[in-house]
Structure 1
């Protein structure tokens, strides 16, 4: 890992963002603009994000050109910018410091006295969203950088005036080791990104480093053996959460109502603190809610604010997001892309009063699909009907010789298609009243959900 001078932002005035329209760049531009830096940026395509940034007074160039960086005394780019990008090449030759987005995010977290970093293999975006909404409801005025869109803030980030920051902390390629966490949440640790980490043991070691970097308090899933192993030897105050009453905070008297409504008592050392109404489904989201509540209370949120926030919380975008509900058929979209996430989402769906649950899954990366093939087959079999798209390779080349058909062959009755058009035609033709159709994946399978929605609307 390249060491970055933690004071590099000092005495800088003009920051230029290459790829400023990216979802991870927007909140950083918001925060640094509010802190008085002069921000400029460039991107290839006109988007709503660019319009919002221009409305803030940020000059933006359409297209990447060497002259765009003129006058900047620090340049930041997204990981998606290719090495042969003319603007990036000019930046690297300019003598001006050049940072990748995750490096800048780390420097931004250092500017807050109470930066709450939300880590874990699963549930980071939902928990970060819950915590942000609770803090806002409690007038704690946090700054936030979230990995998805939270409706209450109209995007993936917000600028607050307090010393509190909520930051999603992703373990992929050890990105979270660039952050400066004061309070860290560890939701869970699972075998993922094995193309980078190699083994689960290496992932646990990486989370241990993250825990060691935390300056104030660790909030950890006491029911998760991997998470507890990761904090062994870390001499920081620890708050545990989970379902077991051995934890500091835990859920009790859980009641699953019809649809996506759940209620539970939030307990602390045997004492009931409050009854929480949750409007996102599944046991995993109860756990996320307990973690967010523990962190919020630790940061000074009142119990009433927590109850009110959860009553209004409808989830982040692409987290069991219902996109269509007419004529007895429901279509939802979810970001789940790891077997543990898919299991949690489909198990929650099966608890709801639907006639059948359809899983429309886009496998993401050849390495993950190959290494976890049997696990994917097992959890996708929870659905009544499973439909697969081709594997989205993303950054990878298919050296694994793995294809969607290999996964489909392991799932009873599973079908697969090359295009979303074919998938949506098939699903709409065979869907029946009372069915839930849920698209699953972290690629662009949400486009398939929209196609299914449009075809169902046209049909009716």
Structure 2
């Protein structure tokens, strides 16, 4: 199916962050767009307000008739036996996964594909903001709600498109990027790949080889050895303290990170400021700067863009700051991401007590990385574990948050239900509270914040 042929698009799982961005793209093009999702959320309500009908129960009769100009887009999270999936797979429809549609859209455009087991959403969003600041006017499909764009889809006026290159289900192999970025290659999604070696070979190395002839591959300096020996692909590196594009003199001043950026020719841009927390985000910013420079951006655009970048919902998002307590909401769902979030809190709030609530995401990930989660959470002063968010998965025998709890060495830790956690966090009166996880913990955030605002309102 050609993009130009499509007139009607139906989404099964329209409320996902990636799916909703595609829905907005097609709606912006003037197509008829509608869809199903399991649960009503602020994101699905926003789609409805934008003129995209959404329903929340199986309604095969609501699917537009099959035809040469009708496309059905689905997410792998939807079971194959779901009634709407059965209708479209058996009814002669053109059916594509989200990743295949992203590949269809980006084909023929100058694609920036940003891959990595963590950091994709932040880096994709910073890159989009910097490129817009530079006047390059990219379109973008983001994995989070960017404050600067008030959404997860950015409509651009050029051939540039910035996308998250997702390793899950080998989705990124649908892309042929002009500029590819690889931020990290930590073990993840082993339910898909089997082991880390297969993830590297059939995932990330295969993705690196999809770079357009004459295109660019940017790899974090300490993982570039995984990409040696690729035919017709030469990697440049980036990092903090090392790499062709390198952040130097990193320090915190007036509550924000500052650094100098050295490019491959040795030119140094002095004292760039970013409000993003943590050295991992300095590294993400360096990758975004490198892409923007390669695409034709200027030093001035980097300075202005990083200084003005307002961040992303649920990426170390400060949801409450008072004289006594700071509450931060973060999407961290991998051990490395937990370490980064806790480390950022330590650096930004030295001397304060750092507490964390963690909701593990997926039974399979909990099983694979229980020891890593335990090690990361041991860096907190106090930890609360709540039940696993299952997402697309069925329970696994013997796998629960208890698995992580039992491997932790931190004595000040608790295993609580959601309700017990709300009671426990309501009693806090000082320090920093990190709310960590990629599940539905974000639905509890307003309740936690409200508990700490009420005394202020009535005091």
Q: TM-score, normalised by structure 1?
A: 0.90
Q: Partner of 2:366 in structure 1?
A: 369
Does residue 267 (structure 1) correspond to residue 262 (structure 2)? The answer is yes
Instruction: Choose the corresponding residue for 1:350, options 339, 346, 351.
Output: 346
Query: Which structure 2 residues correspond to residues 136-147 of structure 1 after superposition, within 5 A?
Result: 136-147=132-143
* CA shift in 2, pair 1:125/1:354, >3 Å: farther
- Determine the structure 2 residue equivalent to 1:207: 204
Equivalent pair of 1:204/1:229 in contact (CA under 8 Å): yes
Shift of the 69–222 alpha-carbon distance from structure 1 to 2, 3 Å rule, reads closer
More displaced stretch, 395-404 vs 375-384: 395-404
What is the deviation of 1:29?
A: 2.2
Q: Is the 8 A contact 2:182 2:220 kept in 1?
A: no
Q: Which range is displaced more, 295-304 or 385-394?
A: 385-394
Matching residue of 2:382: 385
Q: Distance in 1 between matches of 2:117 and 2:14?
A: 27
Contact 2:317–2:328 (CA<8 Å) still a contact in 1? Answer: yes
Deviations 1:94-148 (A, max 9, x none): 2121122222122112141x11000011110100010011112122111101111
| Alignment deviations for residues 263-287 of structure 1 (CA, whole Å, 9 cap, x no partner) | 0011113221343101011110110
1:104 maps to 2:101: yes
Q: Could you give the per-residue CA deviations for residues 174-193 of structure 1, whole angstroms, max 9, x where no partner exists?
A: 11112232211011111112
Q: 1:317 to 1:74 in 2, by over 3 A?
A: same
How far has the Cα of 1:428 moved from its partner? Answer: 2.6
Which residue of the partner structure matches residue 20 of structure 1?
14
Aligned equivalents of 1:139, 1:128: Cα separation in 2: 17
The residue matched to 2:9 in structure 1 has which SS? strand
Q: Which residue of 2 aligns with 1:76?
A: 73
Q: Give RMSD over aligned pairs.
A: 2.3
CA distance in 2 between counterparts of 1:455 and 1:374 reads 33
Q: CA deviation at 1:349?
A: 0.9
1:420 matches 2:415: no
- Unaligned ranges ≥5, structure 2: none
More deviation, 85-94/165-174:
85-94
Of the candidates 126, 130, 136, which is equivalent to residue 134 of structure 1?
130
Q: Is 227-236 or 94-103 further displaced after alignment?
A: 227-236
Question: Deviations for 1:403-452, whole angstroms, at most 9, x for unmatched residues?
Answer: 323322323224334422211211232x233x000011111222333322
State the SS of the aligned residue for 2:398. Answer: coil
Mapped partners of 2:163, 2:16: distance in 1: 17
Whether 1:185 and 2:181 are equivalent positions in the alignment is yes
Aligned to 1:257: 253
Write out aligned runs for 1:171-320 (5 A).
171-205=167-201, 206-215=203-212, 216-225=214-223, 227-245=224-242, 247-259=243-255, 261-268=256-263, 269-320=265-316
Identify if the C-alpha distance between structure 1 residues 424 and 232 changes in structure 2 by more than 3 Å, giving closer, same or farther.
Answer: farther
Q: CA deviation at 1:343?
A: 0.8
State how far apart, in whole Å, the 2-side matches of 1:403 and 1:25 are: 29
Distance 2:297 2:20 in 1: 27
Could you give the per-residue CA deviations for residues 55-106 of structure 1, whole angstroms, max 9, x where no partner exists?
6554556654233223452222233333333333222232121122222122
Distance 1:21 1:396, change over 3 A: closer
* Superposition deviation, residue 43 in structure 1: 4.5
> 2:33: which partner in 1?
39
- CA offsets 1:273-310 (integer angstroms, 9 cap, x no match): 34310101111011000000000111112221111111
1:20–1:43 Cα contact (<8 Å) kept: yes
What corresponds to 1:3 in structure 2? none
Relative to 1, partners in 2 of residues 1:170 and 1:354: Cα closer, same or farther, differing over 3 Å? Answer: farther
Write the deviation string for residues 351-370 of structure 1: whole angstroms up to 9, x where unpaired: 12352000111122222222
CA offsets 1:183-238 (integer angstroms, 9 cap, x no match): 1101111111222222221121110100011114334334223x431353241343
